[in-house]
Amino acid sequence: MEKRIIGRGVLLGALGGLLAFIFARIMAEPIINRAIDYESGRDDAQMALDKAAGKPMGDMGPDLFTRSQQQNLGLSFGMIVFGAALGGLFAVVYYLAMRRVGKITARNLALLVSGGMFLTLYAVPFLKYPANPPSIGHPDTIKERTGLYVLMIVLSVGFLLGAIWLGRTLAARLGNWTASIVGAVSFVAAMAIVMLILPSLGHLSANKSFGDFATETPQPLKDPTGTIVYPGFPADDLYHFRLYSFTAQAILWLVIGVGFAWLAPRLLGDRTPETTPAP
């Protein structure tokens, strides 16, 4: 049964990744193209300023893959494989949770697990560190940005597990409803404190230290006299890219959760979570 659960999870994740790719290809790719055009234009303007100031000129070199390869084959393959991996991870978590839950049906458990994984692996970290289009962001802060995002994921998962443990511990004394509220409030409070403590991306400086860097999103480029020679990145494009990125992830997890909720009774037969003995 374990192999069947994991296999179905991988297939559903791949399907979710495919649907998320179709959505992103239609909605987000035009914004990515504009972001790349923006980066090229800004680089040209910066090179002109550097040349006028007598600074050495850098050479970025050619791209390894064409833009067409990136937005079609590369993006589709990456999202399908990524979705399959998340689907397999979901199946493992579902199987482990199935052996420990109380009176929760197989379908409801699938929705709860997928919702919890979407919340901790993407939604909560997204609130603190939302996505930027490729090429939009200070290149010298990639390592720090990645580290902070991973840290947010780890803390989010850890605090959610802690909130679940707290809720189950208090259930006998306070009742399931009140204990669940206490657990949820504790999770929200803990993550709010984390978000207040961790630095924003706008305070990662160019020398890879936590300094006073104006913003992670490019602002207008100015010459030595203060005249704007190239505009900042459009706020509308940034907003819509983040909205579409969030929606694509929601599609992926919705397919995994709803799809597995539909398949769970067929996979488990009479072995529902209520009757599966804990180890």
Q: pLDDT tens digit string along 208-266?
A: 443 333 456 777 888 888 888 888 888 899 999 999 999 999 999 999 999 999 998 88
- With a CB cutoff of 8 Å and minimum separation 6, the contacts of 106 are 98, 261, 264, 265, 268, 272, 273
Highest mean pLDDT among 21-25, 132-136, 201-205: 21-25
Residues 157 and 177 in one domain: yes
Q: pLDDT tens digit string along 174-222?
A: 888 899 999 999 999 999 999 999 988 765 544 444 333 345 677 788 8
The reply to whether 177 falls in a domain is: yes
The total number of structural domains in the chain stands at: 2
d(CA 99, CA 152): 28
Q: Per-residue pLDDT averaged across 2-18, rounded?
A: 93
Residues 248 and 205 in one domain: no
Q: Per-residue pLDDT averaged across 15-41, rounded?
A: 91
The reply to whether 230 falls in a domain is: no
Provide the residue range defining the domain that includes 196.
138-216
Q: What is the reported pLDDT for 279?
A: 43
Residues 35 and 2 in one domain: yes
Q: What is the reported pLDDT for 230?
A: 86
The reply to whether 28 falls in a domain is: yes
CA atoms lying within 13 Å on the CB side of residue 193 = 7
159, 256, 260, 262 from 4: Cα distances, Å: 30, 15, 12, 14
The reply to whether 225 falls in a domain is: no
Residues 72 and 175 in one domain: no
Residues 105 and 1 in one domain: yes
The reply to whether 194 falls in a domain is: yes
Residues 92 and 5 in one domain: yes
The reply to whether 164 falls in a domain is: yes
pTM of the predicted protein model? 0.83
The H or E element that residue 221 is part of is strand 221-222
Nearest to 246 by CA among 49, 41, 28, 5: 28
Residues 37 and 111 in one domain: yes
Highest mean pLDDT among 158-162, 169-173, 221-225: 158-162
Give the number of residues written for the chain: 279
User: Which of the 8 DSSP states describes residue 210?
Assistant: B
